[in-house]
Structure 1
Amino acid sequence: MVVFSQTNPQIKYIDSLSNLVKKSQKDSTRVVLLEKISLAYANSDPSKGLEYADRAYKLATEMNLKNRQAASMAMMAVNHLAASNPEKGIEYNQRAIEIYKSLNNKKSIAAVYSNLSQIYLRQGNYDKALECSFNALAVYDQSKEYRNKAIVLENIANIHYELKNLKKAKNYYTQVLELFKSYGLKTDLARCMGNMSRVEMDKENYPKALEYLKKALKINQELGNINSELINLTNIGNVYSKQKQNKKALIFMKKSLEMSEKLNMKNSIAVNKGNIGSIYLEMYKESGHSDINLLQNTIKNTQEAISICDSIGFIAPKMEFTQILTEAYSLQKDYKRAFETLQEKTNLSDSLKIMEASQKLSILETERAKSLKEKHLVIKNKELEIIRLKSEKKTLFYLLIISVLVVIFAFIVRSFLQKQKKHSQILSEIKQIQSHEIRGPIASILGLTALLKEKPAEDFSKSKLLEGIEELALRLDEIVIKITKNSSL
């Protein structure tokens, strides 16, 4: 029996959104509306969802709206996942991340990582699922986005649930429930309660599972969360079915089916019809194979479920439904159709195995590409390191030249200072010469000229005085030449 996990797709009625698209201008608002329609279709008809996501992407490309291009790709990923094509889901999410990285849009990168985690979880690639969740968590920790952080923690709990680590899953769910309560986030609280119920179901603690589901159902009914409400109804039916309370189970399954049909949610319709077929089969067995109507209802609902799965490419639950139908045909003694259905189940199983192998191969190819990219980055980093070392070497060379120049300059300055000191010494010597050597002859000349001014002297003595003056003048001339020579040094 197919069990729903809780989601929060924020369903918008497609008709009202389509009317808004018609009225909107050809701008970013129209792109967003197309994305919302795509999201709404993801829960009912993924093929339609892909059409609208493609329209949104083309319009965003035409208007060069990079952010909306990435968002449209994320919507394509959601619809591919709903159509049981996780490979494409991974591809489009990775393309969205590349665009967001170019825009440095960290919050959107975190959101896509969170979506990627869900896909890897579906594939059973739990390591990658945890890696993506923790990548998203790191961003939300920094940005203090408490609600998104709590949702990622809930995703981590989901991963541990799939790993059948129920204790760890419950610990995470309990932590998240407290966070949602403290923030007053009722929708998230209801979803987490629904997920917690799965842990209690696996532990066969059915009363506790019902308690969580009924609390979640009450919250969703109060808030008008129709999609979450019908999921709660389906899962309550599953709990009753586990307890062999098939009549109660049937009541809740039919309520969920009625809501699914009103919303035209084909995925949900297929699951509910298949589950109803399964319940009718159990009731037929309980009746001791006496009520043929129960068997006919089994066949009718299961056939319709399979038909819807085929129409929307909903492969995952079809395996279980073909098994139920095979058993019903056998009980009806229609062995030909039972064999054909069994053959279909076998082919489907082979197809799924091929798909799983292809997915694993794709994962390995992705890992290989990642490894090559990492090696390329290592080489690139080495090249950058070489460039950096060359630059440092060049810088050191220039520093060496500068250092040599500084030393030379210091030597020149020192020589200049020594020369200056010597020059000062010479000037000091000149002053001494001026003081002693020049003043001596000048004093003598002044003395001789004073004698000449006195009463006339003999010619002999006069000529002697003139010779003395001449001698002193020559001596003074020698001193001047000496001073001129020394001052030029």
Structure 2
Amino acid sequence: MIKYLILFSIAILFINSLHLYGQDKARIAALETSLQNAKTDNARLQILGDLCWNYSFISFDKSLAYGQQELKLAQTMRNDTAVALAYSDIGIVYTRSNELNEALSWHQKSYALRTKLGLKDKAAASISNIAVIYKQQGNYDKALESMMDALKIYTDINDLPKKALVLNNIGLLYMKYNKQEEGKKYLLEALAIAKQLKLTALESTCYYSLGTYEYNRKNYPAALKLCLQSLDIKIKLNAQADIGIQQNTIGEIYEKQKKYPAALAWFQKSLKIREELKDQLGVASVYKNIATVYTGQGKYDDAERYLLKSISVFSKLNAKDYLQDAYLLLASNNEERKNDHSALVDYKRSIDIKDSIINRESLNKINELEIKYQTAQKEQRILLLSKQNQIQQLEINNQKLKVERRNTMMAVGIVVLLMVLAFGWLFYNSYKLKQEARLQVEIIRQQDIATQGIIAAEERERKRIAADLHDGVGQLFSAVRLNLSSLMDRIPFAKPEDKDLAERTVMMVDESCREVRTIAHQMMPNILLKTGLASAVKDFISKIDAEKLKVTLETSGLNERLDSNTEIVLYRVIQECVNNAIKHAAANRLDIQLDRNETEISVTVEDNGKGFDTSDKEKFEGIGLKNILTRLAYLKGSADFSSAPGKGTLVAIYVPLT
């Protein structure tokens, strides 16, 4: 079982320090350099506290040494507030090394002094630390009472970070009472505050706590995911003590899944760190978990050796919670080896340690072991008297086994046949689906080719008509204009009205020439082929009378040319939208935006005209709008029409570029 007390210590240590959470080598080196250069006692006091905190994650001896220096300097300065903080820092060091009696003594000193000084919030931190130790010692009632007192103080003073940490610890303690869902509520509330305040270390602690919840529910994949998520944060923070704790927990998860090699690998990682930190309780905890793996592998002698080593340390440290689990595991080990008498003794020890709480389940287990022990003695006597009966029974069983083996072979044959039929059906169905998918892809490809051919043919026809208009009709109009001018020079006009009529006729011919040229250019503008979409649109709108319709154009991302087909289609679509605004909208303003990014090009055409009802399907039956949608479908694009009577029209066009 994952030990909830581990999470308590992680969280509460954070409460008690105003120092930054982090103990990387660069920071520690910088602090030690600053200590040598510090010019005032106040500066030295702050740095000593920071060093005590940072080293508490990686070196018990150095952390304790700096904590004692901090206390000595605070006493010399006669700064009671600093003395109380030094008491707390030293208590944290002992808590991290799992020397619980020493830790409790120092935190009680800190609490008494802070209460005397009226430091309400600091006293609450001391209460929280004391609660952690009570919990580790198995005194859950006092632990919960202390946590509730601390929670009330933090709620009153609206200290959200510390409130969240206490909520996390209360949730874990509720789960220790086997009230999983009540505990989860507290954990989720703590996690919400951590995310709101962006407290990375606290968020990691909450993930780990929720991993404990999932572990208790035997949802091991979810528990593993949450613990690995928390471990990743601890590694980034270089929190060695916490890394060792969580590696041990991950090993427990793998052990529950019977992935014994993986479990042993994680336990060995944890053991290395805890030995380096001189964490006796942590080392013993890993011993107990390694014994669990060996028990699962049937290596009962190896398991017993590790269990006895862990029990020795747990007894020395008075770690009842751990000791109870160790004796329970030792009882299970002896039970597997048919050593029922020893199993009964160890199980009774486990129950006695568990705060004298003897429930129905525990009594049933004790009775079961007693019955098994007595039954084993009787079976030895019966065994001597019933050998003949056993031999006969073995012969009968042998006959039954042959029959069962024959039936089993028949059943296996039937199952294999059914599996072959099932795989055959699955293969056929998969082949059929693949063929249908290929057919659908080919249909879409043919549709694209057809659409592309239609649009290409349309553009070729536009080019031909434009060339005919420019080179044929245009030239004829030019010749007519030349002949008329020559005729006017040769023929005298008897009346001024005749001359005026001739001049108007020449003007009409000139206007016709310009109109033909404009139509030809619109059908296939040379500027589109030469300089691209943006220039072509700008040239197109420059020919519109600004007094009747003011048109603005904004472009971005069009420094490079688009594919020629894309440019032609978009030019035609914009041309159609502008023509619709001129013909139908009665607008006096038109805004065009062209924007290109890495994945798409978007076009918006918006006018302030009379608009139309977009829910009226008849409005979309016209050739113009159909052409817009058809052309865009060729480019895998789309067009959205947003309009209402009297509110203008917005056409939004999107064309993917990839």
Query: TM-score, structure 1 length as denominator?
Result: 0.56
Gap change, CA 1:350 and 1:330, over 3 Å in 2: closer
Residues 162, 45 of structure 1: CA spacing in aligned structure 2 closer, same or farther, 3 A cutoff? farther
Please tell me whether residue 163 in structure 1 is matched to residue 163 in structure 2. Answer: no
- Bigger CA radius of gyration: 1
Partner of 1:27: 41
TM-fit CA distance, 1:64: 0.8
Q: Which residue of 2 aligns with 1:151?
A: 165
String of CA shifts for 1:249-281, please: whole Å, max 9, x gaps: 223222322333454544323222321122112
AA aligned to 2:303 is T
Which structure has greater helix proportion?
1
Q: Per-residue displacement from partner, 1:120-153 (whole Å, max 9, x unpaired)?
A: 4345555544443344334434544322221122
Tell me what 2:294 maps to: 280
> Is the 1:295–1:328 Cα contact (8 Å) retained in structure 2?
yes
Match runs of 1:437-476 below 5 Å: none
User: Of residues 234, 246, 255 in structure 1, which corresponds to 2:269?
Assistant: 255
Give the deviation of 1:105 after TM superposition. Answer: 2.7
Is residue 54–residue 76 contact of structure 1 (8 Å, CA) maintained in 2?
Answer: yes
Q: Secondary structure at the match of 2:246?
A: helix
Q: Do residues 267 (structure 1) and 281 (structure 2) align?
A: yes
- The aligned counterpart of 2:322 is 317
Q: 2:254 aligns with which of 213, 228, 240?
A: 240
Out of 104-113 and 275-284, give the one that drifted further: 104-113
1:76-91 matches, within 5 Å, as 76-78=90-92, 89-90=103-104
Q: Which amino acid aligns with 2:268?
A: K
Alignment of 1:400-415 (within 5 A): none
Could you tell me how far apart the structure 2 residues matched to 1:85 and 1:217 are? 24
Query: Shift in Å at residue 39 of structure 1?
Result: 5.5
The alpha-carbon deviation at position 189 of structure 1 amounts to 1.1
Distance 1:215 1:280, change over 3 A: same
Residue 210 of structure 1 and its aligned partner are, at CA, apart by: 2.1
Name which of 116, 120, 128 aligns with 1:114.
128
Letter in 2 for 1:75: D
Whole-angstrom distance in 2 between the partners of 1:295 and 1:167: 36
Looking at structure 1, the residues matched to 319 and 62 of structure 2 have their Cα atoms a distance apart, in angstroms, of 14
Q: Where does residue 117 of structure 2 map in the other structure?
A: 103
Question: 1 or 2 for the larger relative contact order (CA 8 Å, sep ≥6)?
Answer: 1
Mapped pair 1:3 → 2:3: yes
Report the equivalent of 2:192.
178
Q: Does 1:74 align with 2:88?
A: yes
Query: In the aligned structure 1, how far is the partner of 2:234 from the partner of 2:310?
Result: 26
Change (3 A) 1:266 1:65: same
Cα offset for 1:44?
8.1
Equivalent residue letter for 1:115: N
Q: Structure 2 stretches of 5 or more lacking a match? A: 14-20, 357-658
Unaligned 5+ runs, structure 1: 285-293, 355-489
**Post-superposition shift, 1:283?**
0.8
Three-state SS of the structure 1 residue aligned to 2:258 is coil
Q: Provide the C-alpha distance between the structure 2 equivalents of 1:342 and 1:237, rounded to a whole number of angstroms.
A: 28
Q: 1:71 to 1:20 in 2, by over 3 A?
A: farther
Contact 1:43 1:267 in 2 (8 A): no
Give the superposition deviation at 1:97.
Answer: 2.7
Partner SS for 2:71: helix
In 1, Cα distance between the equivalents of 2:334 and 2:143?
Answer: 40
2:3 maps to amino acid: V
Rounded Cα–Cα distance in structure 2 between residues aligned with 1:350 and 1:204: 27
The residue type equivalent to 2:183 in the other structure is A
User: Residues 281 and 144 (structure 1 numbering): CA distance in 2 closer, same or farther, change over 3 Å?
Assistant: same
For each residue in 1:93-130, what CA deviation from the matched residue of structure 2 results, as whole angstroms up to 9, or x when unmatched?
A: 34323322343333312221222332343455555444
Shift of 1:60: 2.1
Report if the CA contact (8 A) 2:264-2:290 is conserved. Answer: yes
- Structure 2: distance between partners of 1:70 and 1:236: 36
Q: Quote the Cα distance in structure 1 between the aligned partners of 2:316 and 2:59.
A: 9
* Aligned equivalent of 2:204: 190
Query: 2-side partners of 1:319 and 1:198: how far apart?
Result: 19
Question: Share of identical aligned residues, percent?
Answer: 23
Report the aligned-residue RMSD: 4.6
Measured against aligned partners, the alpha-carbon deviations of 1:206-231 in whole angstroms (never above 9, x if no partner) come to 23222322222233334444433332
Q: Is structure 2 residue 303 aligned with structure 1 residue 298?
A: yes
> Aligned residue pairs: how many?
342
Higher strand share: 2
- CA-to-partner distance for each residue in 1:165-187, whole Å, 9 max, x for gaps? 21111111112222222222222
CA distance in 2, matches of 1:102, 1:350: 39
Question: TM-score, normalising length from structure 2?
Answer: 0.43
